[in-house]
């Protein structure tokens, strides 16, 4: 078990080190100047942040729609439950009336 933990630790740190080394090497041997690369990276970062903000705002609207849908569906369920209770009560009253008339006839 201890060897397995060491294996996964080594794998994790190796992956982190490899990713860091790859990033550094990629930046060092990039075909563009550092300022161009920084501009590209900052542009992509801004774009990603804008998309994330749009997604977040959209998720908030979807949540509002979802809450409204939940509220409406709960109203429908409650209404249906009330109607079902009324129908069941009426059916029970009819059954009692039928049983009552049968007992009077006998």
Domain presence at residue 4? no
Tokens at residue 2, please?
A: 């201890």
Domain presence at residue 7? no
For residue range 19-74, list pLDDT tens digits in order. 988 888 877 777 777 677 778 877 887 888 888 877 767 665 556 566 777 888 88
Q: What gap in Å lies between CA 36 and CA 29, rounded to an integer?
A: 13
Domain presence at residue 6? no
Domain presence at residue 20? no
Range of the domain at 87: 31-105
Q: What gap in Å lies between CA 58 and CA 50, rounded to an integer?
A: 12
Which segments within the chain are labelled E, that is strand? none
Domain presence at residue 61? yes
Domain presence at residue 5? no
First to last CA, the chain: 83
Domain presence at residue 14? no
The pTM of this model reads 0.36
Number of domains in the chain: 1
Domain presence at residue 83? yes
Tokens at residue 37, please?
A: 């690369």
């Amino acid at each position: 078990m201890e060897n397995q933990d060491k294996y996964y630790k080594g794998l994790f740190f190796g992956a982190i080190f490899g990713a860091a080394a790859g990033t550094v090497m990629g930046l060092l041997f990039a075909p563009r100047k550092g300022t161009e690369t920084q501009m590209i990276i900052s542009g992509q970062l801004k774009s990603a942040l804008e998309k994330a903000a749009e997604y977040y705002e959209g998720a908030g609207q979807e949540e509002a729609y979802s809450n409204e849908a939940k509220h409406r569906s709960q109203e429908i369920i409650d209404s249906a439950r009330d109607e079902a209770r009324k129908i069941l009560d009426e059916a029970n009253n009819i059954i009692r009336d039928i049983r009552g008339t049968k007992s009077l006839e006998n």
